[in-house]
């Protein structure tokens, strides 16, 4: 079975930076990429970023493009999300998951969601 575990969340001041990590275990070779989504209460999960496992192409949601950077380590077991210039509206639970097929910005394209990590940006 595949397991995804997010870490690195916390409280940060507006304008600050935070790095989230997504550790993957199990058989993940068949996946197309890893994505980050975020969710606030009462809202659908919002696409944040994606990195393809072949070629390393990255994608970003409109609200984070230019501020967030997704990367994958050499061992291909951890995907990081570097978040800069954080805003209060970035406050959410952040999730990572594996893309099993479909458009990268659709949550339905992903499986093996982690439990999430809370990011709170204070104004």
Q: Residue 67: what pLDDT?
A: 98
CA dihedral defined by 22, 27, 30, 33, rounded to 10 degrees? Answer: 0
Task: Map residue 108 onto helix, strand or coil.
Answer: helix
pLDDT value for 38: 98
> pLDDT tens-digit profile of 90-116?
999 999 999 999 999 999 999 999 999
Q: State the average pLDDT over residues 60-69.
A: 98
pLDDT tens, position by position, 14-62: 999 999 999 999 888 789 999 999 999 899 999 999 999 999 999 999 9
Nearby residues of 12 by Cβ (< 8 Å), 6 or more positions away:
18, 86, 119, 120, 121, 122
Q: Which two tokens stand for residue 43?
A: 């809202």
Q: Tokens 């969340």 sit at which residue?
A: 9
> Is the CB of residue 9 less than 8 Å from the CB of residue 20?
yes
């Amino acid at each position: 079975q595949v397991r995804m575990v997010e870490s690195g969340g916390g409280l940060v001041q507006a304008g600050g930076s935070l790095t989230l990590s997504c550790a993957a275990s199990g058989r993940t070779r068949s996946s197309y990429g890893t994505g980050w989504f975020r969710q606030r209460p009462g809202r659908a999960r919002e696409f944040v970023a994606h990195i393809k496992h072949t070629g390393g192409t990255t994608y970003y949601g409109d609200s984070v493009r230019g501020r967030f950077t997704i990367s994958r380590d050499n061992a291909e077991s951890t995907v990081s999300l570097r978040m800069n210039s954080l805003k209060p509206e970035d406050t959410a639970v952040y999730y990572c998951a594996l893309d099993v097929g479909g458009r990268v910005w659709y949550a339905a394209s992903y499986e093996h969601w982690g439990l999430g990590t809370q990011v709170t940006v204070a104004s």
